[in-house]
Amino acid sequence: MTDGVKLSDQQYQLMQALWHLGEGSAKTVQTQLSHLGLAHTTVATILTRLEKKGVLISRTEGRERIFVPTVSEGEVRRSMVSSLVGTLFKGDDRQLLAHLVKESDLQQNDLDEIQKMLAEAGND
């Protein structure tokens, strides 16, 4: 479904930590993201909001609350990319492709690689 999950940068970071961990408490996540320098209460707040948003659920385990993603990173990526494509390119993925090809500083070997991918995609 294009259920339109859309996360802010920060929110995505947190989810990413959870995707890597599989699951985890606010504390665990905060530790994992210590480079961001967020207070643990901040992390907890964001996680709570993400739960309200439906992208994760939590269970209480002893005195800890364990958060578990309910959507995969792939799903979120898909819907975020297609949302952007919707806004910027009238929903036409190919226009984004074209944009990337034009704007990216692609090296020849990148191109080769991509062409290989395209060739494989064509064989589906």
Partner DNA sequence: GCACTCCTTCTACAGCTGTAGTATCCGAAT
Partner DNA sequence: ATTCGGATACTACAGCTGTAGAAGGAGTGC
**Of 1, 10, 17, whose CA–CA distance to 73 is shortest?**
17
What is the C-alpha to C-alpha distance for residues 18 and 76, in angstroms, rounded to an integer? 13
Compare residues 44 and 76 and give the one whose CB is closer to DNA: 44
> C-alpha angle 40/22/63, rounded to 5°?
50
Assess 39 for contact with DNA (CB under 7 A).
yes
Assess 9 for contact with its own copies (CB under 8 A).
yes
With CB cut-offs between 5 and 8 Å by kind, which of its own copies, DNA, none does residue 118 bind?
A: its own copies
Question: Residue 76 corresponds to which tokens in the numbers above?
Answer: 């979120």
State the DSSP code for 55: S
Ranges within 36-65 binding its own copies (CB under 8 A): none
Per CB under 7 A, residues contacting DNA are 6-11, 25-27, 37-42, 44-46, 48-49, 53, 60, 62-65
